[in-house]
Amino acid sequence: MSSGNSFHAVKTEEELSLYIPQEGLVQLRNPHINGMDEDVLYHIALSNKSNNLTEMFQDVKFVCFGGSPTRMHKFAEYLVEELKIKIPAGLTVTNIAHGSDRYVLYKVGPVISVSHGMGIPSLSIIFHEILKLIHHAGCSDVIFFRLGTSGGLGLEPGSVVITEESVDGLLRPYMELSTLGMILQHPSKLDQDVARDLVSLANSEEDGYVTIIGKTMCTLDFYEGQARLDGAFCDYNEADKMAYLSRVHKRGIRNIEMESLCFAAYCYRAGIRGAVVCVTLLDRLKGDQITTPHDIMEEWQSRPQKLVAAYIKRKLNI
Amino acid sequence: MSSGNSFHAVKTEEELSLYIPQEGLVQLRNPHINGMDEDVLYHIALSNKSNNLTEMFQDVKFVCFGGSPTRMHKFAEYLVEELKIKIPAGLTVTNIAHGSDRYVLYKVGPVISVSHGMGIPSLSIIFHEILKLIHHAGCSDVIFFRLGTSGGLGLEPGSVVITEESVDGLLRPYMELSTLGMILQHPSKLDQDVARDLVSLANSEEDGYVTIIGKTMCTLDFYEGQARLDGAFCDYNEADKMAYLSRVHKRGIRNIEMESLCFAAYCYRAGIRGAVVCVTLLDRLKGDQITTPHDIMEEWQSRPQKLVAAYIKRKLNI
């Protein structure tokens, strides 16, 4: 199934002209923003009037999104080491979005590490505000990553999946968004070059785990939406579940999570190169519950971070 | 528009028999749970094997959900005072879900105060796990509340809306959930008695702000999904936006937020009485940006908390 051919949507001519990767300055697909006196980025407690966003963020070249605030803090600290960032004595990395408790946002050299919470709506809000942030800051040639966790399909737990294409629970390669009384479909295409560059940096033998490119299913729910039997509601049985997951697996789906469809759709709309890198915490063809000990899980969750850090180092010639 | 008549969905006979409010013990609509050796409530880091959930939670009668972790912590501290809970010297209320950074969960007497993050998927996860928690704990006759913030329509900012019915961005009174390759529709009916009891506890003259019952629109996105002009993407103009919001307002929608559809649908499915109480932070018929000073916003956000606390006190004869 090719994402290009299977996608049918009613688009305006203007919309069709938008989907071209940007070179240079980050542009917004919204003519209203530049006419505004002030733009309050409400959920990260920043504004283009109260903060000098250019001074703070103009050098940003990479934005790394991840669900958990703790993990994105750890990633910021890891990047300080990996990118050999010199922090003056007495200082430390701090949450720039501390004026709100919705997300955390760190900056380490040319990298933003930001949490997105769980699910498409939560990612959608922070994506809008980060895109406006780097636009106001005058950033150029920025690459976005989502570093996440997921359920695997037919993979050893701890394996890493780089998303080739994101689809919804019915295998549709677009995100539907109800907008002013219409349901608009936004194609969820991802940059294949970044995915290939990422997988070339992995070495399954040295790493001790596999890193592959595969399709990712993105759902609006963790339990029924992912065919789990262990939610508070369930009106299907083990055979129904396995039939569905096996069919999905045969179509090339290698993992299931809850944000990639929006991440991919918004990167594509914005003309931003983007990649989704998720570790699998369990094999959903074998179970539903996540019972792996905490320390092993911690090591697994660092795997997407290591890969993306390696990519950033390569790009920065470090 | 009556929610009963406008809802059309393909349901099994078993499903149709499920939607009956529960009396007594909290039951799960999932036959698989009770056969499991252990049920790990992954996103709140609790389990029915590692934790004595009955001892910890059996006396719970009210669960209060809200988006922000800080706000739900403050609500827990407020309840300690309001419910006159005696905490032994040297102790304080603490986040029971501290083993995960996804949600916070406090318990104050018979009340759980828990955060749900932003958007339906994030609420969905914690709703499943809270429902399983109170089932494992052997709780009975529990009432759920969502205490939130929202954009108002035609209301003075700071007004409080108790949701009569929740609808999506196309005014459909149900939540669609992609499940094993089918899109199932779950009606989002709320308990009208609890809503009426809540509004009877408000006194607009004394309070200095109005508290009303009205319809709530629930969206998957904060920017385009709510017809804002100030997102990173926007392909409509001020006139399009106002035409949509005015039409929606004329149909009885009084506020817009991002969780009520799922909250209502899951309460209804679970047979749990539930209510949604949101303060409005701005009038969307007049603008998009939230620029109210922090201290005024703080006071506004305490309004749903005060109303729900008053309800709980009335029920407990305090």
Q: What is the pLDDT of residues B247-292, one digit of tens each?
A: 999 999 999 999 999 999 999 999 999 999 999 999 999 999 988 8
Which two tokens mark B224?
A: 């385009």
End-to-end CA distance of chain B: 39
Q: How far is Cα B256 from Cα A230, in angstroms, rounded to an integer?
A: 32
Contact present, A255 and A151 (Cβ < 8 Å): yes
* H or E, element range at B166: strand B160-167
Task: Mark yes or no for CB contact B117/A120 under 8 Å.
Answer: no
Count the alpha carbons within 13 Å of A223 in the hemisphere toward its beta carbon: 28
Which two tokens mark B255?
A: 């506020």
Mean pLDDT value across chain A: 93
pLDDT at A3: 40
Which neighbouring-strand residues pair with A176?
A185
| Secondary structure of B120-159 in HEC code, one letter for each residue | HHHHHHHHHHHHHHHHHCCCECCEEEEEEEEEECCCCCCC
Positions at the binding site of B: 102, 146-149, 226, 228
Task: Mark yes or no for CB contact B121/A119 under 8 Å.
Answer: yes
A234-250 average pLDDT score: 97
Q: Which of residues 29-88 of B touch A (CB under 8 A)?
A: 29-33, 36, 38-40, 42-43, 67-70
Q: Which of residues 209-268 of A touch B (CB under 8 A)?
A: 219-225, 227, 229-236, 240-241, 244, 247, 258, 266
Q: How far is Cα A258 from Cα A280, in angstroms, rounded to an integer?
A: 13
Interface A–B counts its CB contacts (< 8 A) at 223
The residue type found at A86 is: K
Task: Mark yes or no for CB contact A230/B118 under 8 Å.
Answer: no
Name which of B42, B120, B220, B281 to mutate to probe chain A: the one with the most chain A Cβ atoms within 10 A of its Cβ: B220
Q: What is the dihedral of CA A168, A171, A173, A175, to 10 degrees?
A: -30
Q: Which residues on A lie below 8 Å from B222 (Cβ)?
A: 43, 121, 124-125, 128
A24 is in an annotated binding site: no
Per-residue pLDDT tens digits for B32-87: 998 999 999 999 999 999 999 999 999 999 999 999 999 999 999 999 999 999 99
Least confident of A28-37, B5-14, B297-306: B5-14
Per-residue pLDDT tens digits for A175-234: 999 999 999 999 999 999 999 999 999 998 999 999 999 999 999 999 999 999 999 999
Q: How far is Cα A280 from Cα A260, in angstroms, rounded to an integer?
A: 14
A147 is in an annotated binding site: yes
Task: Assess whether pLDDT exceeds 70 at residue B10.
Answer: no
pLDDT at B244: 98
A13 contact B CB<8A: no
A70 is in an annotated binding site: no
Q: Report which of A312, A9, A4 is spatially closest to residue A176, judged by C-alpha positions.
A: A9
Task: Mark yes or no for CB contact A117/B120 under 8 Å.
Answer: no
Q: Report which of A65, A66, A74, A115 is spatially closest to residue A93, judged by C-alpha positions.
A: A74
What are the DSSP E strand ranges found in A93-230?
A: 105-108, 111-115, 143-152, 160-167, 174-179, 182-187, 211-218
Task: Mark yes or no for CB contact B232/A28 under 8 Å.
Answer: yes
B157 contact A CB<8A: no
B17 contact A CB<8A: no
Which two tokens mark B306?
A: 């005060």
Orientation angle between helical segments A192-200 and A294-315, nearest 10 degrees = 110
Task: Mark yes or no for CB contact B223/A128 under 8 Å.
Answer: yes
| Secondary structure of B20-70 in HEC code, one letter for each residue | CCCCCECCCECCCHHHCCCCEEHHHCEECCCCCHHHHHCCCCEEEEECCHH
Orientation angle between helical segments A260-270 and A120-136, nearest 10 degrees = 30
A93 contact B CB<8A: no
Orientation angle between helical segments B192-200 and B294-315, nearest 10 degrees = 110
Task: Assess whether pLDDT exceeds 60 at residue B9.
Answer: no
Q: Which residues on B lie below 8 Å from A120 (Cβ)?
A: 119, 121, 220
For residue B234, with 0-12 CB atoms within 10 Å meaning exposed, 13-18 middle and 19 or more buried, which class applies? buried
Task: Mark yes or no for CB contact A36/B230 under 8 Å.
Answer: yes
Q: Across the interface, which of B220, B225, B230 has its CB nearest the CB of A32?
A: B230
Name which of B221, B262, B298 to mutate to probe chain A: the one with the most chain A Cβ atoms within 10 A of its Cβ: B221
Task: Specify the residue for token string 């001790």.
Answer: A208
A242-249 average pLDDT score: 98
To the nearest whole Å, the CA of A83 is away from the closest chain B CA by 27
Question: ipTM of this predicted complex?
Answer: 0.93
To the nearest whole Å, the CA of B104 is away from the closest chain A CA by 12
Rounded to 5°, angle at Cα A25 from A22 and A30: 75
Q: Residue A94 — left, alpha, or beta (φ > 0 → left; ψ -120 to 50 → alpha)? A: beta
The three-class DSSP label of residue B162 is: strand
Task: Mark yes or no for CB contact A101/B69 under 8 Å.
Answer: yes
What residue in A sits closest to B67 (Cα-Cα)?
A102
Q: Which residues on B lie below 8 Å from A180 (Cβ)?
A: 227, 236, 240-241, 244
Q: What percent of chain A has pLDDT over 70?
A: 93
Q: Report which of B274, B255, B254 is spatially closest to residue B264, judged by C-alpha positions.
A: B274
Q: How far is Cα B118 from Cα A125, in angstroms, rounded to an integer?
A: 9
User: Is residue A1 very low, low, confident or very high in pLDDT (cuts 50, 70, 90)?
Assistant: very low
Q: How far is Cα A87 from Cα A197, in angstroms, rounded to an integer?
A: 30
Q: Which of residues 159-178 of B touch A (CB under 8 A)?
A: 168-170, 177-178
Does pTM top 0.80 for this prediction?
yes
Task: Assess whether pLDDT exceeds 50 at residue A5.
Answer: no
A226 is in an annotated binding site: yes
